[in-house]
């Protein structure tokens, strides 16, 4: 065993060739008896170094034994003896010793400076910025982590925020969420927070939720946009949620009144149903969503305005939704000019908000305008980090993201709340075969198609009843209502097919009884299907009117 180096004893201190500072230190450690070798204190410190080492090893052994006894669960009465005694200053300790005073002051200074120092944080460096994506090296972060990148002095912001969207080898792909003008090559990249490993959800981004958000308009990060001051809530929730076991979901059993006659009567929607609103631009999607938000029987409305024109956000809130609608709504707005990452985040945040209210046992109506812009944002990100495009330029990840978002809505466990969702889907050039429309149609529980022909004829809401379907409807309504719906659809379809003949006067009545009745009732059918956007029609009224229409004499 190698003996520890011998400590200077009182006898050797002046003869060992120590520097003056080392001599001072050694003397200071001897206390007030430093200059009197005859006293016991001096004997104590001049103890042989090997003896002292043996004594210390003995103490360590005693502690280890005590810990082992603790772990084995039998502390016993000698437990207290095994514990190291609390520190007692030696009898010769003199706090007034000038050496100790000076060293203590020095140590205090070091401690104070330490307290001021910023914690050491590792940082990476920016190596590439091309298109939407930045690349950094020198950091090991999980996908979804947030980072800050330094901007040069004089920039409008001190830092730029970004999120890790992927990696390749040592390189991290970052997608900025704020303005990046001024970024320099080699800029430092700091992780915003490191996620604790013990709780996987603890590292997930959390945004504000809660009842204090009703009546408020916020951006994708939960910051108020309405100038009404801070949000009156201190609850937050992660953006992601664990999936619901499909067998634990309550089936769609109860009707949700949406306040629109044509939908209530002919395309009845149930609580927890997910519907698509398929239409080209300018056909009346936003107005229809606004009507539903104002007139629905749902207790809470969560509205996501994703990737639409910035001007429309204000217009939607003030003119379409109105004060009454807004009072029980939360609006999350991420217009087209914000980063694609924030547009996607706004969609997931809207869903998180709806989930919060559902988990409080409420029946929530979620309106998202639009699902297509959400898919487009994911396309932008995926293409920028090098995913190959597949159908119509959409990479495969887009078709995985859509069901992941939509499946979070719907009914919760039996007896709990529900999220009924309406997602608008843009059909480019009124093309129903668009890949996003196709994919959405497959994952949603029904679709309402808005027709440009009807809108152009001033028929609002421009719902194409023949092309629309609510898949949960048969489980929600009685036989009589179902038969009336069928009868009306039959008449409508017969009329549409023969429209040209009727218009040119080529149809002679008496040949087809259904068509004859359709022709006679058509003005009333049209009036039934149309609804001014300030007008509301509750479920019972809608069904009663349908009954009257079908039972009417011609
Ligand atoms: N129920 C209605 N009654 C009267 N006019 C309506 C109605 N619904 C829509 N409109 C008319 O249609 C226009 C476009 O409607 P809206 O903004 O809802 O379309 P959109 O499909 O949301 O368009 P975009 O794709 O551009 O967002 C409105 O400005 C309004 O003039
Ligand atoms: Mg719109």
- HEC profile of 92-103: CCCCCCHHHHHH
Angstrom distance (rounded) from CA 256 to CA 130: 48
pLDDT per residue as tens digits for the range 86-114: 777 778 778 788 888 898 899 999 988 88
Residue 197 contacts residue 181 (beta carbons within 8 Å):
no
pLDDT per residue as tens digits for the range 431-448: 667 889 989 999 999 999
pLDDT per residue as tens digits for the range 394-435: 898 899 889 999 999 999 888 889 999 999 999 876 566 788
pLDDT of residue 273 exceeding 70, the answer is: yes
pLDDT of residue 513 exceeding 90, the answer is: no
Residue 76: predicted pLDDT: 47
pLDDT per residue as tens digits for the range 371-384: 999 999 999 988 88
Alpha carbon separation from 480 to 477, 507, 544, 546 (Å, rounded): 8, 31, 11, 11
Q: Return the number of other C-beta atoms located less than 10 Å from residue 184's C-beta.
A: 13
Closest CA to 362 of 256, 203, 239, 220: 256
- Measured in Å, residue 286 CA sits from the centre of ligand 2 at 4
Angstrom distance (rounded) from CA 421 to CA 272: 7
pLDDT of residue 223 exceeding 50, the answer is: yes
Six-digit token string for 360: 């409080």
Beta-carbon contacts of 268 under 8 Å, excluding residues fewer than 6 positions away, are 255, 470, 472, 473, 476, 477, 481, 539
pLDDT of residue 46 exceeding 50, the answer is: no
Residue 169: predicted pLDDT: 92
Residue 364 contacts residue 419 (beta carbons within 8 Å):
yes
Mean pLDDT of 480-494: 92
pLDDT > 70 fraction of the chain, expressed in percent and rounded: 81
What are the CB-based long-range contacts (under 8 Å, 24+) for 180-183? 180/129, 180/134, 180/149, 181/155, 181/156, 182/151, 182/152, 182/154, 182/155, 183/126, 183/129, 183/134, 183/149, 183/151
How large is the angle between the packed helices 371-384 and 340-359, nearest 10 degrees? 130
- Measured in Å, residue 533 CA sits from the centre of ligand 1 at 10
Residue 194: predicted pLDDT: 45
Residue 421 contacts residue 446 (beta carbons within 8 Å):
no
Six-digit token string for 434: 């668009």
Angstrom distance (rounded) from CA 7 to CA 153: 54
- Measured in Å, residue 281 CA sits from the centre of ligand 2 at 7
Identify the residues whose C-beta falls under 6 Å from ligand 1.
279, 281-287, 308, 460-461, 532-533
pLDDT per residue as tens digits for the range 207-219: 899 999 999 999 9
Residue 199: predicted pLDDT: 45
User: What does pTM read for this prediction?
Assistant: 0.74
DSSP secondary-structure letter at 419? Answer: E
Residue 34: predicted pLDDT: 45
Q: What confidence tier does 546 reach under pLDDT thresholds 50, 70, 90?
A: very high
pLDDT of residue 126 exceeding 90, the answer is: yes
pLDDT per residue as tens digits for the range 323-366: 888 999 999 999 998 989 899 999 999 999 999 999 999 999 99
Residue 59: predicted pLDDT: 55
Six-digit token string for 485: 């719906």
Pocket test of ligand 1: the residue of 263, 276, 285, 287 to mutate, having most ligand atoms within 8 Å of its CB, is 287
- Measured in Å, residue 460 CA sits from the centre of ligand 1 at 9
DSSP secondary-structure letter at 6? Answer: P
């Amino acid at each position: 065993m190698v003996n520890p180096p011998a400590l200077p004893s009182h006898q050797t201190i002046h003869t060992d060739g120590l520097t003056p500072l080392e001599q001072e230190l050694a003397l200071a450690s001897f206390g007030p008896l430093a200059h009197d070798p005859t006293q016991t204190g001096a004997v104590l410190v001049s103890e042989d170094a090997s003896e002292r080492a043996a004594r210390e090893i003995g103490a360590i052994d005693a502690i280890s034994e005590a810990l082992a006894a603790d772990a084995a669960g039998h502390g016993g009465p000698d437990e207290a003896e095994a514990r190291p005694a609390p520190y007692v200053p030696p009898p010769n300790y003199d706090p007034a010793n000038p050496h100790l005073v000076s060293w203590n002051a020095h140590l205090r200074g070091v401690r104070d400076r330490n307290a001021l120092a910023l914690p050491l944080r590792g940082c990476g460096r920016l190596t590439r910025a091309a298109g939407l994506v930045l690349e950094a090296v020198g950091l090991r972060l999980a996908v979804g982590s947030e980072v800050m990148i330094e901007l040069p002095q004089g920039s409008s912001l001190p830092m730029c925020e970004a999120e890790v969207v992927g990696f390749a080898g040592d390189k991290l792909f970052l997608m900025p969420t704020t303005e990046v003008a001024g970024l320099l090559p080699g800029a430092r990249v700091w992780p915003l927070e490191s996620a604790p490993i013990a709780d996987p959800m603890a590292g997930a981004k959390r945004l504000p939720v809660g009842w204090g958000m009703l009546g408020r308009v916020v951006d994708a990060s939960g910051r108020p946009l309405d100038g009404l001051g801070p949000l009156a809530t201190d609850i937050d929730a992660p953006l992601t949620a664990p999936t619901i076991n499909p067998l634990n979901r309550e089936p769609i059993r109860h009707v949700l009144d949406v306040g629109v006659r044509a939908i209530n009567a002919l395309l009845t929607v149930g609580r927890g149903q997910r519907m698509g609103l398929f239409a080209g631009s300018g056909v009346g999607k936003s107005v229809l969503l606004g009507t539903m938000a104002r007139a629905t029987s749902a207790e809470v409305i969560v509205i996501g305005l994703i990737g639409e024109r910035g001007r429309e956000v204000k217009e939607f809130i003030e003119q379409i939704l109105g004060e009454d609608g807004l009072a029980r709504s939360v609006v999350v707005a991420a217009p087209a000019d914000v980063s694609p990452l924030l547009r996607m985040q706004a969609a997931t945040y809207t869903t998180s908000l709806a989930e919060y209210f559902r988990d409080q046992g409420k029946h929530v109506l979620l309106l998202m305008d639009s699902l297509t812009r959400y898919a487009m944002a994911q396309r932008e990100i995926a293409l920028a980090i090098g995913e190959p495009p597949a159908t119509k330029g959409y990479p495969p990840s887009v078709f995985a993201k859509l069901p992941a978002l939509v499946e979070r809505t719907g009914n919760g466990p039996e007896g709990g709340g529900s999220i009924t969702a309406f997602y608008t889907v843009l059909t480019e050039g009124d093309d129903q075969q668009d890949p996003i429309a196709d994919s959405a149609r497959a994952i949603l529980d029904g679709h309402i198609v808005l027709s440009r022909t009807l809108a152009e004829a001033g028929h609002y809401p421009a719902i194409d009843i023949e092309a629309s379907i609510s898949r949960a409807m048969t489980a929600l309504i009685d036989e009589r209502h179902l038969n009336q719906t069928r009868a009306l659809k039959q008449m409508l379809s017969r009329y549409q097919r023969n429209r040209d003949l009727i218009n040119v006067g080529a149809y002679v009545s008496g040949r087809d009884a259904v068509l004859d009745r359709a022709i006679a009732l058509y003005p009333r059918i049209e009036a039934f299907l149309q609804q001014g956007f300030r007008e509301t029609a509750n479920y019972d009224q809608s069904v009663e009117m349908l009954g009257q229409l079908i039972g009417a004499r011609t």
